[in-house]
Amino acid sequence: MSTATLETVALTHEQKLDRLAEVAVKVGLGLQPGQELVMTATLDTLPLVRRIQEHAYKAGAKFVSTLLTDEESTLLRYQYGSEESFDYAPSWLYDGMAAAFKSGAARLAVAGGNPALLAGQDPEKVSRANRAVSKAYRPALEFITRHDINWTIVAAATPAWATSVFPDLPVQEGLFRLWDAIFAASRCDQADPVAAWKAHDARLHERSDFLNNKRYAALHFQGPGTDLRVGLADDHIWHGGGTTAGNGVYAVANMPTEEVFTTPHKDRVEGTVTSTKPLSHQGTMIENIQVRFEGGRIVEAKASKGEEVLHKLIDTDEGARRLGEVALVPHKSPIAQSGLLFNNTLFDENAACHIALGQAYSTCVKNGEKLSKEELAALGANDSLIHVDWMIGSAEIAVDGITAEGKSEPLIRDGEWV
């Protein structure tokens, strides 16, 4: 492939927006002719949503169902909703999504919400509302965690999000700068973004193939405030880039993506770990997370901001205190090198090594899609209503692979692959 194919080119905002939609449909989803698409987004992301709909129909989509939410309406619930409202979620809606996925529909989420939307709301109500949604959404979510369907997530800049990233800039200027960052991270400013994604996908597969050949029993993270040993699930598999879903469609789940990831063993995590970036969770910012694991379970947790929300999160169920994912990301990733704190997990998790509390991906276990919950648990895969990523990597992090014989081999030093 020539370097000219991958070089950045001068494009208008509208051209880049169109390319992002095209990449989301062709590369992220791999949408097939005759396939339905279920898309979720906020009202502020409509310009991108409409272009995605256009490219989906051009690709042969049978029908595109778009579920739009309004953040101002979300706040009205917290201001005027009855007490019992916060223990309710419309199961009929999520049952409908599960039915769509069961019939073969693809799933696309457009991220771009206000990271601090619920910062001023009662953490107890926020926790109850999140738990209700998690329970109602579980049947639909399982199609995603098992990779039964092709799905992806892309981002759209919104005024509230831009303000959180560029608080010192006028809103419109911050909005354009955020869009440019999204386009760059999504490779939409290059001459041939589809070719650029294929090349990047191949590099991620090379890294995951290397780790799969090594068959490490554990990873050891060390850095400021961190000395963490993460045992890996029996028969674990590393993934990076795209995968072939259970319906036979090749898809890249997150756009952007810079990670290689696998399933930890839920009972074999020991030590302490400190977050290196804030976590934006369901409209609340949680900063400077510090937790201690014993026997795979969080036994101590604190944060400088949002600590009450953190405790509500890990109290969701038993699995919420255990790990469902561990991911390695080099500090030289384009997102990290942008120097921006996106306050959005889709981006920030691809700027740093990270772990996720809660549900494991069954596709990260050998033949996991064919195993029962009990069989997955026996191999160490965690089960939970939640799956929440948070960042633990930086330029100061070191990661070793631990062999079955207990030998340590350097993988990452000063945030970079050895």
* Distance from C-alpha of 404 to C-alpha of 401, rounded to nearest angstrom: 10
Closest CA to 134 of 179, 172, 88: 88
Query: pTM (2 decimals)?
Result: 0.86
pLDDT of residue 298: 98
* Distance from C-alpha of 358 to C-alpha of 335, rounded to nearest angstrom: 25
In the numeric block, which tokens belong to residue 82?
Answer: 């009855």
The answer to whether the Cα torsion of 323, 41, 309, 175 is positive or negative is positive
Q: What burial letters (b/e) apply to 51-84, b meaning 16+ CB within 10 Å?
A: bbbebbeebebeebebeeeebeebbeebeeeeee
Tell me the one-letter amino acid at 100.
A
**Distance from first CA to last CA of the chain, Å, rounded?**
26
The CATH 3.40.1830.10 domain(s) of the chain lie at 3-185
Q: For the domain 3-185, what is the CATH code?
A: 3.40.1830.10
Closest CA to 373 of 138, 202, 46, 209: 138
Q: Which residues contact 298 (CB under 8 A, 6 or more apart)?
A: 291, 292, 314, 321, 322, 357
Angle between helix 13-23 and 171-185 (nearest 10):
40
Using only C-alpha atoms, the chain has a radius of gyration, in whole angstroms, of 20
Q: What count of Cα atoms within 13 Å lies in the side-chain half-sphere of residue 358? A: 20
Q: Which residues contact 87 (CB under 8 A, 6 or more apart)?
A: 128, 132
Q: What count of Cα atoms within 13 Å lies in the side-chain half-sphere of residue 43? A: 6
In the numeric block, which tokens belong to residue 28?
Answer: 């992220």
Q: Where are the alpha helices (DSSP H) in 263-318?
A: 307-314
Tell me the one-letter amino acid at 303.
A
Q: Are 288 and 304 in contact (CB under 8 A)?
A: yes
DSSP H or E run through 54:
helix 46-58
Q: Are 86 and 130 in contact (CB under 8 A)?
A: no
Name residue 300's beta-bridge partners. Answer: 292
Q: Are 122 and 309 in contact (CB under 8 A)?
A: no
* Distance from C-alpha of 81 to C-alpha of 20, rounded to nearest angstrom: 37
pLDDT tens string for the chain (418 positions)?
Answer: 333 333 456 889 999 999 999 999 999 999 999 999 999 999 999 999 999 999 999 999 999 999 999 999 999 999 999 999 999 999 999 999 999 999 999 999 999 999 989 988 998 999 999 999 999 999 999 999 889 999 999 999 999 999 999 999 999 999 999 999 999 999 998 889 999 999 999 999 999 999 999 999 999 999 999 999 999 999 999 999 999 999 999 999 999 999 999 999 999 999 999 999 999 887 788 999 999 999 999 999 999 999 999 999 999 999 999 999 999 999 888 898 898 989 998 899 899 999 999 999 999 999 998 899 999 999 999 999 999 999 999 999 999 999 999 999 999 999 999 9
